[in-house]
A and B are shown apart, each in its own frame.
Chain A
Amino acid sequence: AQSVTQLGSHVSVSEGALVLLRCNYSSSVPPYLFWYVQYPNQGLQLLLKYTSAATLVKGINGFEAEFKKSETSFHLTKPSAHMSDAAEYFCAVSDGRFQKLVFGTGTRLLVSP
């Protein structure tokens, strides 16, 4: 069975600081990996996805993630946080075959001025 673990339910950064949200996955087959963002009272929006092409994936809003098989990780980063990045972020994994995504528990990003 596949799973993802998101380290830290809350991450606080200052505006302009580096954002690093951690995700580790478990999968018996080469995984497809995703990051989603959820703003208050909204649905989840796809930030980026890894589907076995380039290991460094660039997404929307300046976010990127790197697939590291040796570390079973897919951490999300952004060089400089903006107030508008405050939201909840979800990592998710799929084996691709059955199209079912398994989500992590989420990390709430807080950005202070």
Chain B
Amino acid sequence: DAGVIQSPRHEVTEMGQEVTLRCKPISGHDYLFWYRQTMMRGLELLIYFNNNVPIDDSGMPEDRFSAKMPNASFSTLKIQPSEPRDSAVYFCASTGQGPNYGYTFGSGTRLTVV
């Protein structure tokens, strides 16, 4: 298995532009999570899905952020419009249940908004 795949690895964009981050979870995992990591706030859970359905989006900072999971093998996190304070590393993670419970993280997308 190739693990959790995120793209792009790095993204530099100008303030006000739309940014879309992508994630492919591990096949068979039915939970998918989006985290944001910054020096100031550490790891923050933004939103998570179970069987493609959003379960908890209370961590999404504001309406500029949205996430979708149209099918079991793909999810997006979109920021529109982007702001400099959105600069962070965004991680996607997935997990199964029972004996397979334990998040597998992607390598992250480093977002810089200038």
Tell whether B18 is near chain A: CB-to-CB under 8 Å. no
Q: Is the CB of B43 within 8 A of A43?
A: no
Q: Is the CB of A99 within 8 A of B56?
A: no
Point out the residue from B48, B95, B97, B103 that lies within 8 Å of A44, measured CB to CB. B103
Tell whether A106 is near chain B: CB-to-CB under 8 Å. yes
Q: Which residues of A contact B104 (CB under 8 A)?
A: 46
Question: Once bound together, how far apart are the Cα atoms of A105 and B108, in whole Å?
Answer: 18
Q: Is the CB of A99 within 8 A of B91?
A: no
Report the minimum CB–CB distance from A66 to chain B (whole Å).
Answer: 18
Tell whether B34 is near chain A: CB-to-CB under 8 Å. no
Q: Is the CB of A45 within 8 A of B105?
A: yes
Q: Which residues of B contact A67 (CB under 8 A)?
A: none
Question: Once bound together, how far apart are the Cα atoms of A36 and B95, in whole Å?
Answer: 14
B interface majority secondary structure:
strand
For the side of the interface on A, what is the size category? 20 to 34
Q: Interface size (B, Cβ < 8 Å)?
A: 22
Interface string of B84-108 (1 = CB under 8 A from A): 0000000101010100011111111
Question: Once bound together, how far apart are the Cα atoms of A100 and B31, in whole Å?
Answer: 9
Known: A43-B91, A44-B91. A103 touches B105 (CB 8 A): no
Report the minimum CB–CB distance from A31 to chain B (whole Å).
Answer: 13
Q: Which residues of A contact B55 (CB under 8 A)?
A: 98
Q: Is the CB of A49 within 8 A of B102?
A: yes
Known: A42-B107, A46-B104. A99 touches B95 (CB 8 A): yes
Within 8 A of B (CB), among A84-113: 90, 96, 98-103, 105-106
Q: Is the CB of B42 within 8 A of A103?
A: yes
Q: Which residues of B contact A99 (CB under 8 A)?
A: 31, 48, 50, 95, 97, 101
Q: Which residues of B contact A44 (CB under 8 A)?
A: 91, 93, 103, 105
Question: Once bound together, how far apart are the Cα atoms of A46 and B96, in whole Å?
Answer: 14
Q: A43-B105, A103-B43 are in contact. List 6 more A-B contacts (CB 8 A).
A: A34-B103, A42-B107, A45-B105, A100-B33, A100-B56, A101-B103
